[in-house]
């Protein structure tokens, strides 16, 4: 028997979440964001399940080529564009749409022009101050692309820093408008949070990621209330049981001490599987569908759960770490992080299977 940990990816949940994104997007087209191995769900698998999207957005040209080899013919957006002149033949041959966010990329386009026509996204920095042209440089970039003989189309793009937070999108939206108004082209702005909360950001294309995987981008609104279904469920089993007397402790550093007599279920899952090591005592877990919480430090291959309230639990009892019945958002919040990180961190050693 293999170690009992495994992850399932629900194809119908992915399709359902895409449908929800579609309803929010209205007439806008959808880039399904499949970067980071489709947020840990498997690139090819997620791309297939999200086959109703209008295109896919990711980072590595090599991943884009893999999608093309798997027969995907929809547009593919390279969120950080190309990194070197040597990337250009692949961009061209596979019909990829690079984001152009800096002068160096413009220089590459001039020095090593693609052999055929390409579509590009012109990214502007509307306040996040990560990637993108400033108000001062954007018009020059637009002109350079506009007169480039191989650039077939330009789409304006920006990214929001706080669509999921208190500040929202108003300031960035206004700056984006001011930067792009005079130069007519389609717009692409919204991540999941903007798509769900700010219909005024829809533009011509939207770029949802996390919502497609069934997690909420918002700290103050849960995925179920948004109508989302978790796509990934991480499950394992209890493989050992310890009965602790008051004063006895469990795990590395003896971090957790029993105040009363408790029963500890030892679960075959640890940070080597992608479970967050910094998840503190009290992080929620489902034991045969019932809620319990972790006790003591997460180790590489194991974590401990107080199962005192679940008398029939023992070796072989199924455990859900996150997914169906326990949102990764909730586990992430308990661990002081976001579901994005949990999903992306699913380790290669965890067997993954696809379910309907």
Ligand X SMILES: *Cc1c(COP(=O)(O)O)cnc(C)c1O
Q: Which residues sit at the interface with ligand X, rule CB under 6 A?
A: 33, 35, 79, 159, 191-193, 207-210, 217
Give dist(CA 48, CA 56) in Å, integer. 11
Taking the complex as a whole, the smallest distance from the CB of residue 123 to ligand X amounts, in Å, to 8
Judge contact between 240 and 266, C-beta under 8 A. yes
Q: Which is nearer to ligand X, 24 or 297 (CB)?
A: 24
Which is nearer to ligand X, 201 or 320 (by Cβ)?
201
Q: Which of 263, 311, 264 is nearest to 288 (CA)?
A: 311
Assigned token pair, 328: 């990764």
Q: Closer to ligand X by CB, 56 or 271: give it.
A: 56
Give 228 or 313: the residue with its C-beta nearer to ligand X: 228
Which stretches does DSSP call E strand in the chain?
6-10, 29-33, 55-58, 76-78, 96-100, 118-123, 151-157, 187-188, 205-206, 232-244, 249-250, 256-257, 262-267, 284-287, 290-294, 303-306, 318-322, 352-355
Q: Which of 29, 35, 56, 256 is catalytic?
A: 35
Task: Please say if 252 is a catalytic residue.
Answer: yes
Q: Which residue has the tokens 């990560």?
A: 130
Give least dist CB 33 to ligand X, A: 4
* Residue 79 beta carbon to ligand X: minimum distance, rounded to whole angstroms: 5
**First vs last Cα of the chain: how many Å apart?**
24
Cβ-closest position to ligand X: 209
| In the complex, minimum distance from the CB of residue 75 to ligand X, in angstroms, rounded to a whole number | 15
Q: CB-based contacts of 220: which residues, under 8 Å, 6+ apart?
A: none
Of 190 and 264, which has the nearer Cβ to ligand X?
A: 190
What count of Cα atoms within 13 Å lies in the side-chain half-sphere of residue 266? 12
CA distance 304 to 286: 12
Q: 179 or 193: whose CB is closer to ligand X?
A: 193
Residues, the chain: 356
CA distance 307 to 263: 6
How far apart are CB 15 and ligand X at their closest, in Å?
17
- 39, 198, 252, 340: which one is catalytic? 252
Catalytic residues: 35, 252
């Amino acid at each position: 028997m293999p170690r009992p940990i495994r992850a399932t990816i629900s194809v119908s949940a992915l399709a359902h979440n895409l449908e929800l994104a579609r309803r929010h997007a209205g007439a806008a087209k959808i880039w399904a964001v499949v970067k980071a191995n489709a947020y840990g769900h498997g690139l090819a698998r997620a791309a297939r399940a999200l086959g109703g999207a209008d295109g896919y957005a990711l980072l590595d040209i090599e991943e884009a080529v893999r999608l093309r080899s798997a027969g995907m013919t929809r547009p593919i957006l390279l969120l950080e564009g190309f990194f070197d002149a040597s990337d250009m033949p692949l961009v061209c041959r596979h019909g990829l749409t690079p984001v152009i966010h800096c002068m160096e990329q413009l220089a590459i386009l001039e020095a090593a022009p693609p052999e055929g026509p390409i579509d590009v996204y012109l990214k502007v920095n509307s306040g996040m101050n990560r990637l993108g042209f400033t108000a001062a440089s954007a018009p020059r970039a637009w002109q350079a692309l506009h007169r480039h003989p191989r650039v077939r189309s330009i789409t304006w793009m920006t990214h929001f820093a706080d669509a999921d937070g208190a500040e929202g999108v108003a300031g960035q939206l206004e700056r984006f408008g001011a930067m792009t108004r005079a130069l007519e082209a389609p717009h692409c702005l919204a991540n999941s949070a903007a798509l769900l909360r700010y219909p005024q950001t829809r533009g011509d294309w939207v770029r949802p990621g996390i919502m497609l995987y069934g997690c909420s981008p918002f700290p103050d609104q849960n995925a179920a209330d948004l109508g989302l279904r978790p796509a990934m469920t991480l499950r394992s089993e209890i493989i050992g049981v310890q009965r602790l007397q008051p004063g006895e402790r469990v795990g590395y550093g003896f971090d957790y001490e029993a105040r009363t007599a408790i029963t500890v279920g030892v679960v075959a899952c640890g940070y080597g599987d992608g479970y967050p090591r910094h998840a503190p005592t009290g992080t929620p877990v489902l034991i045969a569908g019932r809620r319990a919480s972790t006790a003591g430090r997460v180790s590489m291959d194991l974590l401990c759960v107080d199962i005192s309230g679940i008398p029939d639990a023992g070796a072989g009892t199924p455990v859900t770490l996150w997914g169906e019945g326990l949102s990764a958002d909730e586990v992430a919040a308990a661990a002081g992080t976001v579901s994005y990180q949990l999903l992306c961190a699913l380790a290669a050693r965890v067997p993954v299977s696809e379910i309907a």
